[in-house]
Amino acid sequence: MQAAPAAAAAALTALSVLLTLDCLSAHRPPNNQIQQQTDETAQKKKNQPHIVFILTDDQGFNDIGYHNPTIKTPTLDKLAAEGVKLENYYVQPICTPSRSQLITGRYQIHTGLQHSIIRPRQPSCLPSHMDTLPERLREAGYATHMVGKWHLGFYRKACLPTRKGFDTFFGSLTGSVDYYSYESCDGKDLCGYDLHDDEGVAWGHEGKYSTTLFTQRARKILESHDPAERPLFLLLSFQAVHTPLNPPESYIYPFRDMVNVPRRNFAGMVSTVDEAVRNVTYALRKYGYYRNSVIIYSTDNGAQPFTGGNNWPLRGRKGTYWEGGVRGVGFVHSPLLRRRRRVSKALMHITDWFPTLVGLAGGNISQSQGLDGFDVWPAISEGRESPRKEILHNIDPLHKSPIEKKNQDEENWVKTLKTKVLKKVKKKKKVLKKPPKQKLAFKTKTTKKPQTFSHHASKPKSKPLFKKKLKPRLKSKPPPKAKKTKAHTWDRPLPNHRPHPKIGGTSSGSGTSRPKSPPPIQTRLKTKFRRTTSQNQNLSQSSRPKSKTLKLHSKSKSKRTFFPYQNRSQPGIPLIKSHPTLQFGLESLQPVWDTSVQAAIRVGDWKLLTGDPGHGDWVPPQMLPTSLPGRWWNLERSILYQKSSVHKNIWLFNITGDPYERHDLADQRPDVVQQLLARLAYYNQTAVPVYFPPDDPRANPSQHRGAWVPWVEEEEDEEGKYQGVYKKSNNKMKKKKKKKCMLCNLQSFFLKMSEGTVSSRI
């Protein structure tokens, strides 16, 4: 009897266990579904390529073997020949702007870094709220590493590379470091050690050449990482070929026949980069990365001819917005390219790498608001048309040419545009007729020039003014002087007027020749400008009549504020009509842009520069033994260029037909000038205030054991501390004026440099 209840309890227990297992199996996905999800995850990891981005410093257009055979770069030439050469690729003219746009994918007008570079003592860096390329790649599952030069600010720990998305960092934080001692100076007397490992100072590496040291660290990263487990992103940012020019002597020897010593040393430094790239690509093959990798090679800006670099045949140099300063050397090498061994003419910019690489990695760029870059991988890999149609090179409201130059160039441009419009609408100029004697207000000078009249004069009669019967009256009793009244500028005759040069006329190296400068047409063009952060860069003529279509002013803000925008250069955004004056008359001929402001923009084939774009010389290869500018600097300086107008503020070039910028078309195509000026005004509406704070004495390396390290505590709100931008004191300006001969000092400097290098020649 007792066995029966026990058997029943056992049966109930077994039944409950079976029911529990059935419930669990019902909620658990089938084995084939689990296997499918696992396979999808593995396939996604397999499709994510390893990305190696190699960034050089100050390598010019003529400083690579496939552009110039005298520069020996066999590894780079081979990689570029087997990949895709980017021959319509643009960067920024100096270090910090290029690197900031690579990391953020935004124009520098949208990060507050429009002006100059970040200097070692400046409390400035990338905006704290803005996402970065390594952050988006890390979210996609990548291991992110950086080796080399940062130069994006380090005044607080939040600015360091390890706080901006990189898992590890090894390199320098400032812009110019000695290749052996790793000493970086901000001025002559303020120097400190600058080599860091993650967030600490990497002492004890003195005597090791930085290019070699960075390559060794890159190979160590590749060796320690498992390519099958996790995709890799490596930013290898070489300090080379930036000054100082001191490569190992073994790399200089192959160029011993070069008589120009700076060029010889520079070529040796390019060879060190070529060897470093060879070692990195060898490691990619050795450790199993290569078959699923993308190698990108790019410079950060153009070369400086005074220090051995060369941009021939492009115009300009580093620090300028001519093609020599912004046209970058670059190529992509990858087994994943669908069309290889070709040259790409697709328009690309350094901001495009952000969306391109995030998209290639399978990441999500929808969370990155305000990107100015485009995904150009189809254009690179398949040869499709580039989605990019225009490039805003920059708008720098703190870099302005003198007001006199601005007014004169605007007067010439307005006069040209007026002439074109008058021809289009077929309005004939009418000679003003003689008013009644009581209201006569013309000048008594006998000349063939048209005379100026007041708007208060009554309607003239049909006969012309200049008749002999007026002479007795003029001799006996001159007419009373008329009260000065403000006449409209278009009604005022132009003194010393000369016919506008015909379309298709010859042009000099720097632009078409202009007639002698007439007196100012509009006194309203002269305005005062304040270089303050609180402005939204009042770049339109503030004293002119306000335009109804363009509002160029915004509310002042002390901190770096940012506006929502997305790809302002999208093809879908229509350009402003170039000739509104042909339909609406002369009232809308007011310029829409302050042409004294340094700015540059590329739209389609056209490129416009305003303000002071920098030295616009064509510097040939350094073939002479001396580096003094007097002997070889002027080889391409034509007489026409030397006699060009000093008041010029507007340049226009068709870059597709004239890639070397030798024919200025600003006078011949005022309609295009008007359209591109409107685009500059449009971009300026989205700009944030410039953030360029003064130097902070707390950054002195002597206060930090002789090294450059972060000096501001995280609790301090340094980013919103400065209401204005950094302005040099009057005392410094006075000291600069005391310099008697800048050219003499420059020649003396390069003479000493040449003598020092020649004394130690091989």
pLDDT digits (tens, 9 = 90+) for 261-281: 999 999 999 999 999 999 999
Instruction: Please check whether residue 359 is in contact with residue 395, taking contact to mean a CB–CB distance below 8 angstroms.
Output: no
pLDDT digits (tens, 9 = 90+) for 421-469: 566 555 444 444 444 444 433 343 433 444 333 333 333 333 333 333 4
Tokens, residue 396: 């720098």
Is-catalytic flag, 151? yes
Q: What's the whole-number mean pLDDT along residues 162-166?
A: 97
Tokens, residue 186: 């901000």
pLDDT at residue 746, as a whole number:
60
pLDDT digits (tens, 9 = 90+) for 175-198: 999 999 999 999 888 999 999 999
pLDDT at residue 615, as a whole number:
86
Q: Helices 95-104 & 353-360, crossing angle to 10 degrees? A: 30
Model confidence band, residue 745 (pLDDT cutoffs 50, 70, 90): low
pLDDT at residue 500, as a whole number:
36
β-pairing verdict for 84-86 and 342-344: parallel
Please determine, for residue 302, whether its predicted confidence score (pLDDT) is greater than 90. yes
**Nearest alpha carbon to residue 328 among 343, 314, 339, 342:** 314
pLDDT digits (tens, 9 = 90+) for 747-758: 666 555 554 444
Residue with tokens 């929502």: 564
pLDDT digits (tens, 9 = 90+) for 506-520: 333 333 333 333 333
More confident residue, 113 or 444: 113
**Nearest alpha carbon to residue 512 among 617, 650, 667:** 667
pTM as predicted: 0.72
Torsion sign, CA atoms 192, 193, 196, 199: negative
User: Which residue type, as a one-letter code, is found at position 194?
Assistant: D
Q: Collapsing DSSP states into helix, strand and coil, what is residue 224?
A: helix
Task: Give the number of other CB atoms < 10 A from CB of residue 453.
Answer: 23
DSSP state of 349: E
**Nearest alpha carbon to residue 83 among 104, 52, 105, 61:** 52
pLDDT at residue 473, as a whole number:
41
pLDDT at residue 698, as a whole number:
96
Please determine, for residue 534, whether its predicted confidence score (pLDDT) is greater than 50. no
Report how far residue 177's alpha carbon sits from residue 191's, in angstroms, rounded to the nearest whole number: 10
CA angle 744, 748, 750 (to 5 degrees): 120
Which of 50, 67, 95, 110 does the annotation list as catalytic?
95
Among the ranges 106-120, 457-471, 580-594, which has the highest mean pLDDT value?
106-120
Burial string for 361-384 (b: 16+ CB within 10 Å, else e) reads bbbebeebebbbbbbbbbbbbeee
Please determine, for residue 607, whether its predicted confidence score (pLDDT) is greater than 70. yes
pLDDT at residue 306, as a whole number:
87
More confident residue, 72 or 630: 72
Minimum mean pLDDT range among 6-20, 49-63, 430-444, 689-703 = 430-444
More confident residue, 491 or 603: 603
Q: Helices 74-82 & 261-286, crossing angle to 10 degrees? A: 60
β-pairing verdict for 168-172 and 143-149: parallel
Domains and CATH numbers, the chain: 45-389 (3.40.720.10), 598-620+630-686 (3.30.1120.10)
pLDDT digits (tens, 9 = 90+) for 674-728: 999 999 999 999 999 999 999 999 999 999 999 999 999 877 765 656 554 554 4
More confident residue, 708 or 648: 708
**Nearest alpha carbon to residue 80 among 251, 230, 297, 232:** 297
Report how far residue 389's alpha carbon sits from residue 602's, in angstroms, rounded to the nearest whole number: 8
Q: What's the whole-number mean pLDDT along residues 22-44?
A: 55
Q: What is the mean pLDDT of the chain?
A: 76
pLDDT digits (tens, 9 = 90+) for 200-236: 999 999 999 999 999 999 999 999 999 999 999 999 9
Please determine, for residue 550, whether its predicted confidence score (pLDDT) is greater than 80. no
Report how far residue 615's alpha carbon sits from residue 321's, in angstroms, rounded to the nearest whole number: 9
pLDDT at residue 101, as a whole number:
98
Task: Give the number of other CB atoms < 10 A from CB of residue 242.
Answer: 23
Does a cis peptide bond (omega within 30 degrees of 0) precede residue 134?
no
Instruction: Please check whether residue 117 is in contact with residue 96, taking contact to mean a CB–CB distance below 8 angstroms.
Output: yes
Please determine, for residue 360, whether its predicted confidence score (pLDDT) is greater than 80. yes
More confident residue, 252 or 545: 252
More confident residue, 417 or 712: 712
Is-catalytic flag, 95? yes
Q: Collapsing DSSP states into helix, strand and coil, what is residue 424?
A: helix
Which of 50, 115, 145, 151 does the annotation list as catalytic?
151
More confident residue, 105 or 551: 105
pLDDT at residue 188, as a whole number:
83
Task: Give the number of other CB atoms < 10 A from CB of residue 301.
Answer: 28
